[in-house]
Structure 1
């Protein structure tokens, strides 16, 4: 009997929740067939079968949390289904999905229990191969001494730790598998809704970044007259030549890149007592979806034209709203732009997208009277907000960055020279 296991997904993902079974006990599966949809912290991933045969048993139910490397189903490669297993499983998913602590979930958790030693090391920077070896050996990554000066755990570090018998503690981790029971309310005016894994993760990370980072926000305003005039002059030809609209995001992305080149610490991150200053520009663009905010990344945005940036943003937004983003679309951004103005926000304080140390908030455009020389003119104005991590970015740099963005947007020709 072959076991279908949760594969290695990404370096930062160690577990997920079963969102939906795509195959049921007794169903015929071919090698490469999707058998379940797994909801992770970042995206939903469809898990395939590495075997051809008949699905004989589901080892976890919809809503259950499963670990990377945990067996979730069995496949009979001879093609014969296990008759007793199918009826019991077919009735289970619907009524039990909202009751994580029910006894039916115990066998699945027991199967994955030896693997749970990797969970305490979830915050450790380690290669996927090192994580896999640590799970196999039952080693807590927090206890592994890394040779790398930046603290990254490699395979050789785990192998060295395996020689010390104290490292493994298989009996220590049964408790984290328990889930909080839903509150019981005897009031039909109140609806109890279980948070999705993504919403839980968003909540935890927003609280975490405010607890760990010295976050400050500085504000400015920008006159978008020049950008709007430039867009109006070129929008028809732009669509005709590139098959995509010329929006504001490409201007802001180019301006951000130009400012990051002047103030590189805003394109960095903190690891322990080291600063990782990045000499590439992968710009995250926040996108709102029904399941919560996601931040897909425009890769090497400094090397792309306005049209290429607009196409990338458009394609990523469509994928996000159709729940088709892959892990590669979401990982590794160096700086984030979020546009609350699309919902009418006049001014807000964006929260950092950890481990990044800077995020630019755009807002709605309002026509306001502005002093221009000796005259008062109505101009299309937008408030800008830059939240930054004061641990490595000083106020002078943050203000300078935002002024640089403002200046480039008010004189868009600079974008060709600096962005």
Structure 2
């Protein structure tokens, strides 16, 4: 038998480590080529790792919940003689087959190659020591050890783009002598307030454990509210021309290009144009530094079949025409519905939109998707009688109206910038050319 090393596979350009969720095989178990051996998780997705050969598991080098760097050996397999050779196994470094699944992993998911995007697909300008993103694991450790935000931001990250990893924060804690001074916090001391008890009736009420993705979302939302002082502004826009054009053009668009024409690519187009005029919305905060992103990468808050939310990203939205945006949006939405989004399709957004109108909501107050500084909510489009000005004076007409709401980080976005940016988006939608060519 040949000894085959199973290594932690690469799962995207921006991912340097993964957490072992669960071993599906034990030492001494037989495995077949492409049979799933373990489940792993990153900050973005959960994945399955298949066996590279037929054989028997001889060693498991890590335990569940261990964090392992990409490329590190995680198990040893005694391969059968008829299985692939060592030479064949070495090819796995260039072609690692994974079942990439957001949230709960399905065993029937499609195998995906890890060569999913080129390095140019993940570009974030960074003038600081790290990209401003903190994983839920790092946040959890920081909270447990009572680290201040200033302390965490002072740690030099060794991950991709200077990202702070578990080893970085643990190394800091090991050598920590005293904490950095933090700004005064107007928070009620923990000891002076006890959360109200939750009434639970045994046999009547039921308790549901959060899955891993819901836990990460919860941590991310709490972190965002803790980090960014949220302010929300609202405007109402008349989108009659946009609605009429889309209704008229959608069949011809589908026949001509083979793509459905939804409102989402139109919204993305309007947002990207507004960002070009107000680039200080397209930023992240790193301590006392503001990182202004050159690329305009628009995230789309999207519901998964599990009910959880995920944010696939339309990269370089300003460089795409409406057809290009429609293709990109349809691909990402379809991949989200089928749970086959790639890791690099859900990272690197610089601004996010959330279409709360899809669920019938009139408007929303969205929570900022860190490390961004603003997020746009799009309300439902409703027909209403409105007073409009015509050549004959004021008249009442039936118009398609919708509310837009922008939540922004008041540390770096003031009311003038937030309001002007929001108004620009509204102007773009209201000025939609009814005679636009398809």
TM-score by length of structure 2 reads: 0.68
Answering whether residue 319 of structure 2 is matched by residue 303 of structure 1, we say: yes
Q: Say if 1:125 and 1:244 are closer, same or farther in 2 by CA, change over 3 A.
A: farther
State the distance in 2 between where 1:265 and 1:348 align. Answer: 23
State the distance in 2 between where 1:244 and 1:23 align. Answer: 47
Post-superposition shift, 1:27?
A: 2.4
1:248 to 255, 263, 266: 263
Contact kept, 8 Å, 2:406 with 2:422, in 1: the verdict is yes
Answering whether residue 220 of structure 2 is matched by residue 205 of structure 1, we say: yes
Contact kept, 8 Å, 1:284 with 1:336, in 2: the verdict is yes
Answering whether residue 137 of structure 2 is matched by residue 128 of structure 1, we say: no
Give the match's secondary structure for 1:337.
strand
Segments of structure 2 that go 5 or more residues without pairing to the other structure are 83-136, 143-151, 178-197
Query: More deviation in 309-318 or 353-362?
Result: 309-318
Deviation string 1:261-291 (CA, Å, 9 cap, x unpaired) is: 1111111111121111112111111101115
Q: Say if 1:305 and 1:273 are closer, same or farther in 2 by CA, change over 3 A.
A: same
The answer for the alignment partner of 2:274 in structure 1 is: 259
1:26 to 29, 35, 45: 29
The answer for the alignment partner of 1:271 in structure 2 is: 286
Give the match's secondary structure for 1:68.
strand
CA RMSD of aligned residues (A): 3.8
State the distance in 1 between where 2:324 and 2:400 align. Answer: 26
Give the match's secondary structure for 2:217.
helix
Deviation string 1:307-363 (CA, Å, 9 cap, x unpaired) is: 221121121122112221121011101111110111101121011000011111011
The answer for the alignment partner of 1:396 in structure 2 is: 416
TM-score by length of structure 1 reads: 0.71
The answer for the alignment partner of 1:407 in structure 2 is: 427
The answer for the alignment partner of 2:68 in structure 1 is: 68
Answering whether residue 207 of structure 2 is matched by residue 192 of structure 1, we say: yes
Give the match's secondary structure for 2:422.
helix
Query: More deviation in 39-48 or 218-227?
Result: 39-48
Q: Say if 1:20 and 1:240 are closer, same or farther in 2 by CA, change over 3 A.
A: farther
Post-superposition shift, 1:304?
A: 1.2
More helix, by proportion: 1
Q: Say if 1:119 and 1:379 are closer, same or farther in 2 by CA, change over 3 A.
A: closer
Residues 3-402 of structure 1 aligned to structure 2 (within 5 Å): 4-7=6-9, 9=11, 14-16=17-19, 18=21, 21=24, 26-30=29-33, 34-49=36-51, 53-56=55-58, 64-69=64-69, 73-77=75-79, 126-128=157-159, 140=169, 143=172, 167=175, 187-289=202-304, 290-373=306-389, 374-402=394-422
How many residues are aligned here?
342
